[in-house]
Amino acid sequence: MFRSKRSETAPHPEALRLMDVTKVHGQGENAVTALDGVSLSLPAGSFTAVMGPSGSGKSTLLQCAAGLDHPDSGQILVDGAEMTGGSEAKLTKFRRTRIGFVFQQYNLLPTLSVEQNTTLPLKLAGRSIDRRAARAVLGDVGLGDRLGHMPDELSGGQRQRVAIARALVTRPSVIFADEPTGALDLRSARDVLRLLQEAVRLHGRTVVMVTHDPVAASYADSVVFLADGRLAGSMLHPTVDAVAERLAHLGDVSAHHVPMGV
Ligand code: ADP
């Protein structure tokens, strides 16, 4: 799976490091401290879920760690290289070479085919497009027979698998996934989570996934919990029950299975 001819230098043993990262949204009376001195170290080849109550800073953490937003202070290192502090152009280049994304709403371009969506990050990064490698990655995610299809001809689960292929094709150091199963039925969600697991276990990628769902989190190797913009503990080898229990203590109503509409 996800094979490639590209020879790679050995990754840095630490895929992601956050050092005292702080982020404030808004100004004056409306200022909200979304991240309050977060420090974190994730080894290469790990699969980490980020969980916490709504408003605890999960999205802000992901956006900052992925270089899509700027922290107000602190440092972020990806694959041993400092990401913070450079120009916007440098940051964009950094992102395109070292980081992959998977979003809840897939973010595919509707006018591009499955294959074109998958190779787009290579094009944007000015890299040569190895169509055989791209097709191999699409085969690996089970879409080898859908290369010419357009996104609106695919199910949600298939679209998310294209997004995973797109995230893998550049062979990034870290793949950030923001609620990747949030819009999917159970079976498609399971397929997506297994693909993320395989990216880590078979191919040594590092995955960081924000999720509300204890079932999704149980596919990860570990979970880090956030509360009020601060780290509030971690869990190795998470199980669904243990994660739900911990979330309940962090005050997340979603962990109590509140009925729809209440
Ligand atoms: P989570 O993903 O855990 O729900 P967020 O990172 O989205 O948390 O938000 C953390 C805090 O920052 C919340 O109080 C939220 O209201 C606030 N926040 C997030 N984005 C913005 C923004 N663009 N402007 C103002 N406040 C924001």
- Could you tell me if the CB of 109 is within 6 A of ligand 1? no
pLDDT digits (tens, 9 = 90+) for 131-170: 998 999 999 999 999 999 999 999 999 999 999 999 999 9
Q: What is the pLDDT of residue 8?
A: 53
Do the domain assignments include residue 52? yes
Do the domain assignments include residue 64? yes
Do the domain assignments include residue 8? no
Buried b (16+ CB within 10 A) or exposed e, 125-136: eeeeebeebbbb
Do the domain assignments include residue 9? no
Q: Is the pLDDT of residue 63 over 90?
A: yes
Q: Is the pLDDT of residue 207 over 50?
A: yes
pLDDT digits (tens, 9 = 90+) for 113-122: 999 999 999 9
Dist. CA 60 → ligand 1 center (Å): 7
| Residue 217 near residue 223 (C-beta atoms within 8 A) | yes
Do the domain assignments include residue 33? yes
| Residue 57 near residue 112 (C-beta atoms within 8 A) | no
**Test site for ligand 1: of 21, 32, 58, most ligand atoms within 8 A of the Cβ:** 32
Name 114's Cβ contacts closer than 8 Å, sequence gap at least 6. 138, 143, 146, 147, 148, 149, 150, 151, 154, 162
Do the domain assignments include residue 27? yes
Dist. CA 152 → ligand 1 center (Å): 31
- Tokens 């992925």 sit on residue: 66
- Could you tell me if the CB of 52 is within 6 A of ligand 1? yes
Highest mean pLDDT among 2-6, 11-15, 132-136, 177-181: 177-181
pLDDT digits (tens, 9 = 90+) for 237-260: 999 999 999 999 886 544 444 444
Q: Provide the CATH number for the domain around residue 185.
A: 3.40.50.300
Do the domain assignments include residue 23? yes
Which amino acid is located at 233 in the chain?
Answer: G
- Of 99, 104, 131, 105, the C-alpha closest to 118 is 131
Dist. CA 196 → ligand 1 center (Å): 26
The domain total for the chain is 1
Dist. CA 108 → ligand 1 center (Å): 25
- Could you tell me if the CB of 254 is within 6 A of ligand 1? no
Dist. CA 73 → ligand 1 center (Å): 17
Instruction: Give, as one character, the DSSP assignment of residue 39.
Output: E
* Residue 52 to residue 210: CA distance in whole angstroms: 9
Do the domain assignments include residue 260? no
- Could you tell me if the CB of 124 is within 6 A of ligand 1? no
**Domain residues for 207?**
14-254
